[in-house]
Amino acid sequence: MIAVFQDMPAAGLKLANINAMEGAAHAAAAAGSRLIVFPELFLTGYNIGQQALHELAEPVDGPSVRAIADIARQHGIGIITGMPERNGDDVFNAAVAVDASGRIAGLYRKIHLFGPAERSAFTPGSEICVVELAGRRVGLAVCYDIEFPEMARALVRAGADLICAPTANMSPYWEVPTTLLRARALENGIPVAYANLVGDDGELTYTGMSCIVGADGRDVARAGAEGRALLCCSFGSVAAGGGCDQLSTQATDVRLDILSAWAAG
């Protein structure tokens, strides 16, 4: 099973947010989930300002990820969560993946930074990331990344059979968790797990509507636009099959040889 957690983290309070992750991981594991996905920058909060993000940023082998690894090991569940990650002088909007043994399975640094606040706070990533987690090949994306068809297609071509996207999608972009998420799943024949923030955060209002969308582009589980939620579903219920390949053939039929030449020109 896979789980997605929707909530608002405590601004700047890493220990409180790690404790929230522990509670959600415990509940998800008790329900039989082997993997849980948390929202973008859930470790620190999203809308806390550049100075706070830089002060709270940690390397991937820092104390917060070690604590998250302990949670994964204790409950026997893989964890994907967003965090500000420091590497020397650079700070990245990152998603870290930890497997059920507590091993760091992978680190993804957000490639597509959204708006001037993110572009001033973070260094953009430069590599896609597909990791082995809970018996799946998981492609990682962070929020705005999943709005680009090219991103999902690149992850699928790199071998992903599931995309997990920690997210901080806010109003007025209500079509992202509905229309765009379903399109990414359907056009690639791959399930997508989307963990969003929810509620008011200063001048921002997050849209919630976290979801697990099947390979046929249909919702398997969806949270509302308000309130905390924990979604759990079986891997089998989101996998390709049952006619999905016939519904969507774009991933195999796309003529990148032609389209890439036009894009380059």
Structure tokens at 70: 């302990």
Q: Which of 58, 110, 211, 244 is flagged as catalytic?
A: 110
Helices 181-188, 149-157: crossing angle, 10 deg rounding: 40
Quick one: pLDDT band at residue 237, thresholds 50, 70, 90? Answer: low
> Is 118 part of the annotated catalytic residue set?
no
Overall average pLDDT of the 208-213 stretch: 97
Please say if the pLDDT value at position 265 is more than 60.
Answer: no
User: β-pairing, 35-37 with 2-6?
Assistant: parallel
> Is 110 part of the annotated catalytic residue set?
yes
> Is 14 part of the annotated catalytic residue set?
no
Distance (Å, whole) CA 210 – CA 26: 19
Please say if the pLDDT value at position 127 is more than 70.
Answer: yes
- pLDDT the model gives residue 234: 83
The per-residue pLDDT for range 9-38, each reduced to its tens digit, is 999 999 999 999 999 999 999 999 999 999
Is-above-0.85 flag for pTM? yes
- pLDDT the model gives residue 253: 75
* Position 6, amino acid: Q
Q: Which of 129, 143, 164, 244 is flagged as catalytic?
A: 143
- pLDDT the model gives residue 99: 97
Distance (Å, whole) CA 151 – CA 247: 21
Please say if the pLDDT value at position 243 is more than 50.
Answer: no
Overall average pLDDT of the 154-178 stretch: 96
Overall average pLDDT of the 199-219 stretch: 95
Alpha-carbon Rg for the chain in angstroms:
17
2-264 placed in CATH 3.60.110.10: yes
Domain boundaries of the chain, sorted by first residue: 2-264
- pLDDT the model gives residue 254: 74
Distance (Å, whole) CA 127 – CA 129: 6
Quick one: pLDDT band at residue 260, thresholds 50, 70, 90? Answer: confident
Distance (Å, whole) CA 58 – CA 80: 16
Question: What is the distance in angstroms between the CA of the first residue and the CA of the last residue of the chain?
Answer: 45
For the beta sheet containing 192-196, the strands, ordered from the edge strand earlier in sequence to the opposite edge, are: 130-133, 136-140, 162-167, 192-196, 211-213, 219-222
Overall average pLDDT of the 65-88 stretch: 98
- pLDDT the model gives residue 244: 44
Overall average pLDDT of the 113-118 stretch: 96
State what percent of residues in the chain have pLDDT above 90. Answer: 88
Please say if the pLDDT value at position 245 is more than 60.
Answer: no
